[in-house]
């Protein structure tokens, strides 16, 4: 009779394709899957397994390069450690900054995330959250997007501005933002101001505009319909700001200051002003919004209202994970307000001495 070989019946396969499974590892060790699982996960049940055996198991796991299937684990534990992020589009500076804040916190906590971008198409805004849920995300973060309430995982909206049940809103203090900008311009001596509102689909547009009107009223500044433009179109190119500004100039109403919806449109606006022979800031002061990276490196460097976009992303991730891991602790905040900051650079100055020159 031949000497008995070490247990190596190996019903579990190990063709390079899939990596080694728990079953394979257990058989290799001559132990049950349960025992191996206990040790690998440092489960309390492992306390009855002697140190010697534990080391054997860990050594084998390392040697065979065992990596538990996250999918199998998710299925069993009903925990995916995955969340979904819904953004309008990726290329835009805004969403990218928020995402990088989100990512920071999520990866650090061992969560991964799916990103989907809907390009403002309604059917996608409806469908993606459901698809994400099907993929067992434990929560959703929506950036500048209104989450429908058909979703039953915790949600956090960055600039969502809609009262959706179960969704926490992270919003900028727009009142303060508008005050900062208008106050700054008023202090410089500006009275005739023009404004560029955001696209209708952006959830910030409405709130911010309301805040601007409020602030203007407080400062006793007139908001003329003729001097109020609105961005139009999907893209996030400076071209939109360029076009609106041309219209504002064409209407003939004089102005010495322009408050735009974001930095991108401010950049386009400055271009249009310059082409029309108006110098920035000598003839017209321009205040942007967001403080995207390149704002500081425009010529002239942009005065702008800074939104702490990265922080907003981080906060969103923090709140979401809190809500996921301790759903009962806090009933969950409805809204979290972050503060803007006025960054004064070179695109604003006193109005020209001959005011109203057009």
Residue written as token pair 């809204």: 335
- Confirm or reject binding of residue 69 to DNA (CB under 7 A): yes
According to DSSP, the residues that pair with 142 across neighbouring strands are 86, 157
| CA angle 27–30–36, rounded 5-degree value | 75
Which listed option, DNA, a second copy, none, makes contact with residue 117 (CB within 5 to 8 Å by class)? a second copy
CA 73 to the chain's CA centroid: 29
- Among positions 277-316, residues that touch DNA (CB under 7 A) are none
Structure tokens at 153: 């995982």
Smallest distance, DNA to C-beta of residue 25, A: 7
DSSP letter at 233? S
> Taking CB under 7 A as the rule, which mask of x and - marks residues 7-46 in contact with DNA?
-----------x--xxx------xxxxxx-xx-xx-x-x-
Q: Are the beta carbons of 196 and 269 closer than 8 angstroms?
A: yes
Smallest distance, DNA to C-beta of residue 26, A: 7
Which listed option, a second copy, DNA, none, makes contact with residue 37 (CB within 5 to 8 Å by class)? DNA
- How many CA atoms lie less than 13 Å away from 353 in the CB half-sphere? 0
> What whole-number distance in Å separates Cα of residue 216 and Cα of residue 228?
13
Smallest distance, a second copy to C-beta of residue 287, A: 17
| Cis omega (within 30 of 0) for bond into 281 | yes
Q: Which residues bind a second copy (CB under 8 A)?
A: 16-19, 67-72, 74-75, 78, 80, 89-91, 93, 96-97, 99-100, 103, 107, 112-117, 130-131, 133-136, 152, 236-238, 264, 267-268, 270-271, 274, 293-294, 296-299, 310
Smallest distance, DNA to C-beta of residue 62, A: 15
Q: Which residues bind DNA (CB under 7 A)?
A: 18, 21-23, 30-35, 37-38, 40-41, 43, 45, 48-50, 53, 67-69, 72-73, 75-78
């Amino acid at each position: 009779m031949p000497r008995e070989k070490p247990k190596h019946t190996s019903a579990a396969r190990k063709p390079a394709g899939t990596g080694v499974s728990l079953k394979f590892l257990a058989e290799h060790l001559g132990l049950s899957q349960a025992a191996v699982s206990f040790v690998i996960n440092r489960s309390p049940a492992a306390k009855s397994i002697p140190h010697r055996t534990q080391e054997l198991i860990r050594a084998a796991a390392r040697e065979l390069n065992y990596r538990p299937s996250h999918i199998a684990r998710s299925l069993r534990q009903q925990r995916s450690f995955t969340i979904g992020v819904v953004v309008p589009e990726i290329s835009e500076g805004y969403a990218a900054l928020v995402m990088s804040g989100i990512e920071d916190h999520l990866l650090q906590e061992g969560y991964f995330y799916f990103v989907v971008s809907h390009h403002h198409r309604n059917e996608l805004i409806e469908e993606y959250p459901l698809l994400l849920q099907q993929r067992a995300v434990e929560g959703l973060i929506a950036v500048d997007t209104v989450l429908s309430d058909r979703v039953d995982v915790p949600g956090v909206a960055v600039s969502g501005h809609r009262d959706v049940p179960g969704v926490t809103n992270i919003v900028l203090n727009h009142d303060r933002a508008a005050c900062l900008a208008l106050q700054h311009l008023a202090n410089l001596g500006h009275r005739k101001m023009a404004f560029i509102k955001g696209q209708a689909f952006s959830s910030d547009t409405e709130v911010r505009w309301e805040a601007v009107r409020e602030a203007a009223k407080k400062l006793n500044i007139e908001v003329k319909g003729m001097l109020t433009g609105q961005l139009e179109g999907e893209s996030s190119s400076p071209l939109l700001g360029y076009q609106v500004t041309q219209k504002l100039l064409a209407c003939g109403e004089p102005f010495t200051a322009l408050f735009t919806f974001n930095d991108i449109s401010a950049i386009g606006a400055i271009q249009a002003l310059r082409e029309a022979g108006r110098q920035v800031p000598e003839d017209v002061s321009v205040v942007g919004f967001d403080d995207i990276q390149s704002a500081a490196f425009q010529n002239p460097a942009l005065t702008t209202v800074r939104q702490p976009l990265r922080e907003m992303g981080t906060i969103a991730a923090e709140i979401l994970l809190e809500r996921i891991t301790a759903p009962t602790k806090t009933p969950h905040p409805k809204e979290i307000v972050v503060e803007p900051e006025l960054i004064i650079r070179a695109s604003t100055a006193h109005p020209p001495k001959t005011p109203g020159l057009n």
